[in-house]
Structure 1
Amino acid sequence: MNDVRFPEGRMEIVSAVAALASRDHQRRVWVERRYPRKDYYDDFSTNVHILYDDTRVLEDPSAAIGIYLRSEQEAAALANLAEILNAVFAEMGTESADSEYLKSRLWESVIRSASVALHALLAD
């Protein structure tokens, strides 16, 4: 990961996208609050903050190349994820419960898009 300026931030992005790609994780951790270990916490809001506020990678994925992202392919996959998440927020707002977001008619698209983005981020 020496090809990005902030590899620790990239690792947070990968973790957030992985959470968005896993319906099992979302149900078990976000809704049922069954955490994999003590002192662990995760929810939808945490991942949104990583992707939009902390790294700002979903605001302009192409601008994140070299900072957090390695390629235009990664940026394109994250741009697609941002488009779908923005549609979810347009439909439901930003203050809904995690369980409500998971019921959105767009949520399957979030999972698919996050899966594609995760694959791009993990490809060598």
Structure 2
Amino acid sequence: MDNFTMQINALDDLQMREFPHGAVGDVLRNTREADAFGPLNEALQNLFDKFGTELSDREYLNLAEWIPVVTEAKELLAVLLDKQ
């Protein structure tokens, strides 16, 4: 089953939330990609600081604080898909 918790755990396992620069050359191509994780990580941290980590996927999706997470994820994706 693919859910929000699994995605966060995958990011944590790869240390993409705490130290994305450590993945440059392995998972990420360059520091530009690592830097792009910053805003997403901030949005996620804001979400977790306010509501904790035990809500259901549906509960997170219904929060106003979810909107910045989606916005920053889209920005990150654009950087990751950029061929530069």
Percentage of matched positions with identical amino acids: 36
Unaligned 5+ runs, structure 1? 1-40
Residue 36 (structure 2) pairs with residue 77 (structure 1): yes
Higher CA-based Rg: 1
Provide, for residues 38-94 of structure 1, a one-character-per-residue CA deviation record: whole Å limited to 9, x for no partner: xxx211001000001x21111111222112111122111111111110110001101
Is residue 89 from structure 1 mapped to residue 56 from structure 2 by the alignment? no
**Which has the higher relative contact order, 1 or 2, with Cα contacts under 8 A spaced 6 or more apart?**
1
**Number of the residue aligned with 1:64:** 23
Question: For residues 120 and 77 of structure 1, what CA distance do their matches in structure 2 show?
Answer: 7
Q: Look up the equivalent residue of 2:67 and give its one-letter code.
A: E
Inter-partner Cα distance in structure 2 for 1:91 and 1:102:
14
TM-score between the two structures when normalised by the length of structure 1: 0.63
The TM-score, its normalising length taken from structure 2, stands at: 0.91
1:44–1:98 CA contact under 8 A, matched in 2: yes
* In 1: Cα distance, 2:81 partner to 2:19 partner: 20
The equivalent residue for 1:122 is 81
Could you list the runs of 4 or more consecutive aligned residues of structure 1 that deviate by over 4 angstroms after TM superposition? none
